[in-house]
Structure 1
Amino acid sequence: MSDLVIGIDIGTGSTKGVLSDTDGNVIHSEVVRHETSFPRPGWAEHDPDETWWKDVVEICRRLTARAKGDVAGLCISGIGPVFLAADERGQGLRPAILYGVDTRSAKEIDELTERYGSDKILEVCGNHMTSQSVGPKIEWLTRNEPDVWARTKRFLMAHTYCIFHLTGEYVLDHLSASMCEPLYSPFTNDWVDEWVEDICGDLPMPRLMWSNEVAGRITDNAARITGLRPGTPVAVGTIDAFSEALSVGVSQPGQVMLMYGSTMVAVQISDKPLIAPSLWSNAGLFEGTSNVSGGMSTTGSLTTWVAELSGRNYDELTQLAGESSPGARGLLMLPYFSGERSPIADPNARGVLAGLNLTHSYGDIYRSALEATGYGSRHLLDSIKDSGGAASEYWAVGGGTTGGLWPQIMSDIIGIKQYIPKVTIGASYGDALLASMAAGVVDVNTTWNSAEREVEPNPDNLDIYGEMYKIYLDLYPATADVSHRLADIQAR
């Protein structure tokens, strides 16, 4: 039998793990669900011990019990970028502040941008600061919770928190660091010392490594807790979306991954760092690689919202949406229910449902939610193209690809062919591949996945979606002022 590896991905609402051999054959998979806390409008948090660590330990135990033989390597990815303030022992001092769905640092974004200069930040970081950026989240903590900041000795993310407790190593991958604007530059692949000192003071920054390198090895104590063998290598890992891209073989310039999840993320591989004002210009998973990417704040979570509001399940709503028509019978939704990340970078944007009349049904509303993700994704991909990214092929991943309606709507609105991979487990499968690389049993050119089917755009729907997309682009600027005023009321 080939060597066995474990990949684990910590998501917004669940943690998923996979046990595979180093040829990419899945032996077993596990899922553990957890809660995300929204204590105030614009805030999103995780308890790191009860969510990240507890889940990883449980999945390791379940998967090692299934392993017939030793596990050669482990890799963890997670939501991000997030900011966990921790003490020297890696214990969280407060709940972790999540990625761009947490918009509490809007004031700090504006003030840091004024302090350093918008053009200078763009030149150094490749993009502007947004609610996704970690630097302003740290600035928020120093101002609002000084007692917590005074005890902070470690800056951890979901995957590096677990790495620290598994191996004792304080590390961060270059890709995740490149989403910590303005603390890191993808053009130098290093911390920006002047801005790190200004924002973080004397906080020790984690050691920078590439995602497929060995961060450390399982300690004796971690082995007792997890069931893994002492000394097992643990890869550095990365943020979930980028591991998900690797899971379907998106690793070459021009390839694009569209991740259908609670949020939508697009990742396009590039051969060099790009200046991308409204996007994320990042270091890559591997040395010598880069990517440009962006993410919407609410996509799959919109479908959950409609399902909970209507009291109907997804299958029923999908059937009803299929009975509606392209364009949802003139109903148009802005999907900014948690603000928006890319490309408008507006944490105070809010959802809009325009065109309602008394004949509209739950099927129309549900279809408008699916179509909103398509319009937002087209806007995002157009912005990537404008930054210099030339797309050659599109791979769709995530739970939303399993049904036929959502991917078809996406292809129709964007006008692209999407490849749906045979293995759709997602980021944890990419983590297993990274674990295999760290264990030294495969190289960086290894691809495990291939296409199971293709989704072609329906030419009959291009005109109506082209017309609706133009209205979509007009709707945000037409309603932004009202949305901002309402966001102010919600924040009181």
Structure 2
Amino acid sequence: MKPSVWIGIDIGTTGVRAVAYQADGQSLCAASQEYPLFTPHSGWAEQDSKEIIGAMENVISDVVTSLTQSGRKAEGVSISSVFHSFLAYDKEGEPTTTLMTWADTRSQDIVREMKKLYPDFLSIYRRTGCPLHPMYPMAKIAWLRKERPEIFKRSSYFGSIKDYAFRVLTGQWVVDRSVASGSGLYNLLSLEWDRELLSYLSISEETLPNVVSTTYSQPLRGEMARRTGLQAGIPVVIGAGDGVLVNVGIGAVRPGDMSATIGTSGAVRMLTDKPCTDEKGRTWCYNLTDNVWVAGGAINNGGLALRWMRDHFNEAEQSVAEKLGIDSYDLMSSYAKKIAPGSEGLIMLPFFTGERAPNWNADARGVLFGLTLQHDKRHMIRATMEGVCYRMNSILHALQEVTGPAREIRVSGSFIRSELWLQILADTLNQEINVPNVNEGAAFGAAVLGFVSAGILKDISSTADFVTVEKTYKPGAPAVKCYQELYDIYNRIYWNLQQEFTDIAAFGKK
């Protein structure tokens, strides 16, 4: 008999990807589709939820077609979705708002008010595992109630892109514990929606989806079977949030294993056997499976910063890359490689969309510090890569204070296509980093939850048996010394600009 095949669906920030997997991690075929992110005002970052669902249907259909042509078929589907999205529905279940993404910080003023209302606001963090920050859906609901009361009154239910996608596929409105734990509304200690926060928001438990295990499944609806080519009735596993599933997908599932991801955003994470919070409130803690939690910190601006650099300063390079048939990022990386570590004194603070961990400052803004006449776009590209790695280093320091030192660091995300960026990260962290032989990350992590739900794999730790290290990057002494010196300067720049960040953010809202 041929091995079982499941499709892992990864609904991300800028696109959706579907991949057909066997339980040993072998991918058979894949499809992806992008969708736009709308930023109509400063601090806003939203999307069309129906457009995302349409893209999801398309990539599933494409994968099913490829499987059929090879004589295979999917036995189930499991979902990974981006964390911290927010969507409101009317009583018929139709969206009343656009989809607010994690990058949306319009509720920053609400968060300031909450910190005044709750002087011991860290108690909320200790209950929910989520620092008070505008990226969390809890703050977005509060914004909707205050700033758009007419829409708030028309909204009977509040959820995310995950529960919306699961309802489209199965007809049932529920959410997994993982995505719920990333809402800022879920009590990690009592395992229920937090009653104090429900009261603050003036909503009831009935307005939120029931919370289920990340291996919970329901049969695929007949209508969706017809639209995607899947077999009606096959199990659809609700899965988890994309960030925590990365650890599963790259085999970082043993005690002391840490993952470092740079995609659109970035994150550093470690698995724990119980909810684990930081007394200083710098890190978050989300659920993965019933008995596994993930402590970590995420940055807003990872590959997003390099994409900004490409789109605004490297248009000619994009044209050249297209003519040569190569990736424009590869060309940019080759430019940056010609510049020595430290970018000849140029430092980028890549706070294009504010910042999350470890300082949780939504007012932070991008800074290019140290510019001289000798600097050109090559320096700017490298400084952007280095600036993102400084952010990752700040999370690593905070997380290791909470969880202890990492036994191993495995990496994932689109940045692994750049050997230069990988080496910069190793040098900045001053630790070895390992590239695994399976790099699908969240899509494979979702499929693993499907295999666990079906009894094909024992549990998520099974991926450690077959996801191995493909290449190791070791820190180099000269670069390490350079980055340690510049990291100190970078930190001082950040802390010296606190009032200026607040003032310029306020000016931008006028």
- TM-score scaled by structure 1? 0.95
Corresponding position of 2:59: 59
Distance 1:176 1:389 in 2: 25
User: Structure 1: which amino acid aligns with 2:115?
Assistant: T
Distance 1:455 1:373 in 2: 17
SS in 1 for 2:153: helix
Q: Out of 61-70 and 119-128, give the one that drifted further.
A: 119-128
SS in 1 for 2:497: helix
Corresponding position of 1:39: 40
Give a deviation string over 1:12-61, Cα, whole Å, max 9, x none.
1111110122332211011111111111111100100012x111110111
Q: Check whether the contact 1:278–1:383 (CA below 8 A) recurs between aligned residues.
A: no
Distance 2:176 2:202 in 1: 18
Q: Check whether the contact 1:350–1:484 (CA below 8 A) recurs between aligned residues.
A: no
User: Structure 1: which amino acid aligns with 2:295?
Assistant: V
> 1:102: how far off?
0.9
Corresponding position of 1:26: 27
Corresponding position of 2:143: 140
User: Structure 1: which amino acid aligns with 2:200?
Assistant: D
Q: 2:485 aligns with which of 456, 467, 476?
A: 467
User: Structure 1: which amino acid aligns with 2:443?
Assistant: S
User: Structure 2: which amino acid aligns with 1:25?
Assistant: Q
Q: 1:373 aligns with which of 377, 388, 391?
A: 388
How many residues align structurally?
488
Equivalence map 1:53-452=2 (5 Å): 53-67=53-67, 68-99=71-102, 101-116=103-118, 117-181=120-184, 183-202=185-204, 203-214=206-217, 216-276=218-278, 277-310=280-313, 311=315, 312=317, 313-444=328-459, 445-447=461-463, 448-452=466-470
Q: Check whether the contact 2:219–2:233 (CA below 8 A) recurs between aligned residues.
A: yes
Relative to structure 1, is the Cα distance of residues 280 and 131 closer, same or farther in structure 2, using a 3 angstrom cutoff? farther
SS in 1 for 2:301: coil
Q: Check whether the contact 1:234–1:438 (CA below 8 A) recurs between aligned residues.
A: no
SS in 2 for 1:135: helix
Distance 1:241 1:123 in 2: 20
Distance 1:346 1:281 in 2: 14
Provide structure 1 residue ranges, at least 5 long, that are not aligned to the other structure: none
Question: RMSD of aligned C-alpha atoms?
Answer: 1.6
Give a deviation string over 1:218-239, Cα, whole Å, max 9, x none.
1112211221111111112122
> 1:189: how far off?
2.3
> 1:271: how far off?
2.5
Relative to structure 1, is the Cα distance of residues 233 and 98 closer, same or farther in structure 2, using a 3 angstrom cutoff? same
Distance 1:121 1:160 in 2: 24
Relative to structure 1, is the Cα distance of residues 20 and 128 closer, same or farther in structure 2, using a 3 angstrom cutoff? closer
Provide structure 2 residue ranges, at least 5 long, that are not aligned to the other structure: 318-327
Distance 1:417 1:172 in 2: 37
Equivalence map 1:5-24=2 (5 Å): 5-24=6-25
Distance 1:389 1:232 in 2: 42
- The sequence identity of aligned pairs, in percent, is 27
Distance 2:202 2:32 in 1: 36
SS in 1 for 2:75: strand
Detail structure 1 runs of 4+ shifted over 3 Å in the superposition: 277-281
Corresponding position of 2:474: 456
Q: Check whether the contact 2:345–2:370 (CA below 8 A) recurs between aligned residues.
A: yes
User: Structure 1: which amino acid aligns with 2:389?
Assistant: G
User: Structure 1: which amino acid aligns with 2:57?
Assistant: V
Q: Check whether the contact 1:113–1:121 (CA below 8 A) recurs between aligned residues.
A: no
> 1:113: how far off?
2.9
Distance 1:150 1:248 in 2: 44
Distance 1:208 1:386 in 2: 31
Q: Out of 311-320 and 55-64, give the one that drifted further.
A: 311-320
Distance 2:482 2:175 in 1: 46
Q: Out of 126-135 and 157-166, give the one that drifted further.
A: 126-135
> 1:284: how far off?
2.6
Q: Check whether the contact 1:251–1:269 (CA below 8 A) recurs between aligned residues.
A: yes
Distance 1:258 1:87 in 2: 39
User: Structure 1: which amino acid aligns with 2:54?
Assistant: K
Corresponding position of 1:479: 497
SS in 1 for 2:289: coil
Q: Out of 195-204 and 141-150, give the one that drifted further.
A: 195-204
